[in-house]
Structure 1
Amino acid sequence: MATINIRSDIKDPFYRYKMERLQSKIEGKGNGIKTVIVNLSSVAQSLARPGSYVIKYFGFELGAQTNNNPADDRWIINGAHEASKLQDYLVGFINKFVLCKKCKNPETEVVIKDGSIVLDCKACGERSDVDLRLKLSGFILKTQPKKGKKDKAERKAARKARENGNGEVKENGNGHGSGGENISENGSNGDDVAIEAGSDDELTRRINAEAQVLDEEIEANDHEWTVDMSDEAVRARQMQLPEDLKQKLVLGDDDDEEGENGGISKYDQLGTWITSEVEVKGGVDKLDDVAIYLKAKELGIETKHRTLLVLVSTIFDDNMAKQVAKRAAMLKNVGTSEKHQKSILGGVERFIGLRAKEKPDIYEQTSKILVSLYNADLLTEDIIIKWGTKASKKYIDIATSKKVRKSAEPFLQWLAEAESDDDDGDSE
């Protein structure tokens, strides 16, 4: 894709700070019409700013609603807006929130301190204040990351800015170097469309709307989405499942793991219901996110971290790396705490390990799956790196656990290098 100068007033074709020209497409009709900015993530990365800053700025300028953190990388503004008009607004964003006030260089980082926003220029050393009267300034202050932790998107973008400043931009332009090129290429690419463009708010709205009539639906449509959950019926169905799902779905020693009197746990009930529905509907892609969440809610485990272990083990097939983006909003609705993330990683171990018994080449998918989960903000760097340091027999046998981590080394190495780059940049 052709690039343009970040500073629109500079016409020099050899100006080293470049970005892609905004690309947009208009979807829908009538009141449902919306504009999708196809390459906003790439543009925001070139500016060393989170995509949420850019899309929110457009929303303020246009007086339109936006989705500020889409799991599937589909950045949306309500209404129909031409790309050329958005490009003009982007110039305003760059002048106010990117360029150094002294040297006009875009090699700046956002620093938030004592309620003020400062642009710290890595080119000339100038630290200039951003006008706090601007609407986006309020948004930035309100959504700033916790102290000591940069926003993931900002950290990635900052690495991109440093590479731009050193004239070391790789040909692929992804700012991650050769170590991350293949991973990003094969990870979640935004082609998969989540519920209503991946909006977490939309998923929540649907869940709340359907939850209001949950009791009536269960009573009226019992044959459609409930099954016989007696111990005998569950065990019989488990014996009929494929080999990779016959193993008990939940392991560990949590108080809420087992059912009453050592019977079938609620997690096993959820897993068995999902596998039954997949068989009836003819594939995991036919299973609706809202139905899954409501079933977990019916069982009273919709926010339990162990629920994610069951979901990761059952709602994906061998195309998991591409399917994560569609399921991300629902998975985040369950929870994103450290325990929840560990359960997701445990689910990945079992997903890969059990399938590898019949399909050894599934190990090649490990890094791609982790990239998709990471890009969807379901996993953080710290949790992934810690997971990669030590095998565990909690979710799968120890030998298989080691193999899964071994197969994840390309991504783990990329993360470690990215962390090292951040540390070097912060100490300068």
Structure 2
Amino acid sequence: MANVNIRRDVTDPFYRYKMERLQSKIEGKGNGIKTVIVNLSNVADQLDRPASYVIKYFGFELGAQTNIDPKDDRWIINGAHEATKLQDYLDGFIQKFVLCKDCKNPETVVSVKEGDIILDCKACGMRTKADGRHKLGSFILKNAPKKGKKDKSTKKADRKARREAEKNGNGEDENGNENSPGDSGSDQAEENNDYGVEAGSDDELTRKINSGAKDLPTDSAADGKDVQWSVDMSDEAIKARAKALPEDLKSTLVIDEDAEEAENGGKNAYDEFGDWIDEEAKTKGGVSKVEDVEIYKKAKDLGIESKHRTPTVLAMSLFDDNIAKQIEPRAPLLKKMIGDSEKHQKAFLGGLERFVGELHPNLTPAISAILLPIFQEDIIPEDVLKAWGAKASKKYVDLQTSRKVRKSAEKFMEWLENAESDEEDDDDE
């Protein structure tokens, strides 16, 4: 199923926020005619909004009755409505009830506070109000998200905090055993003043030290001033601190300064690289006529020749419908820019998956023929290819597309297994 940018006014093929294109089916005749939106649940999940909000919005815009809680996942609008028309209305829903009003990013969480519909943006941190004048606003206020329900990132942070607390002694005793609610190390015991410790224990000594420390003057009290600590979080300061780190530590951190938007039109280095390849291909009459040396030199000029995201751009920009035949002549360039790094190899396969699954879905059945020269030219090793084919992933495309692409690669995976078995038989002889 084809994907589109959540913001369809953004034409950048590398735009990270995608959703399925709406698929509708018209059923019935006469007064009983109706439109079933086949994939509304998937689209609503990708927008992080209840499907009932989306279908109700369509009903208000079209002046038609809708079902807002179907048990069989059949979302219906009375009347005949084309998918293209519904897609246009969906743009209006996204503009009013999904996009952050400040940064126009769709990574928002909706909540209701004091009669206002709040969009909490996880990208820029701003909390803005949705359009409350629309009829859907009243529906959302009456059907607000359940209080106390946390998003995935919040739940993950909570779990991490609990683990850290346990490591620091709040959840384990000195032998590494988990404390019960009445143990001396638990919060509940402290609240009830029921410490249950013997004289001379470490807990008693700690309390004596803390008690004595209360009477000691702090530096800020002695100076008569409040000491305020701060860390410079400007882009320049972050980059400077990153450069000062040892090389072995840099490799363990996710510091991707290349992902920052450049000044020229909001494009980063990877966008520029992909656009440059496209322009060169148009100028020279085909992507195959763009020379490897020029491609590598451009990546080096942009400072991304060794970055792991660069192979993703290469996989999406360096080929056309004849990709199976274009792999071999590009092998030297690909091996140079991918190297032995598993991270780079996986990034290339991710870009290939997006190229086949989204940009050229007609090539999905040919994925086995594409993977064969990639293996034979030693661009990607056998173990990485096997791991890729074993499990679908939503890192580069939606899960449905990933499953479809990797399902089509089963012939290649079987060939890979058989080739390995043949080699083992030859060794035995």
Where on the TM-score scale, by shorter chain, does this alignment land: which range?
0.3 to 0.5
Normalization by structure 1: what TM-score? 0.39
Normalization by structure 2: what TM-score? 0.39
| Higher RCO by CA contacts (8 Å cutoff, separation 6 or greater) | 1
Q: State the structure with more CA Rg.
A: 2
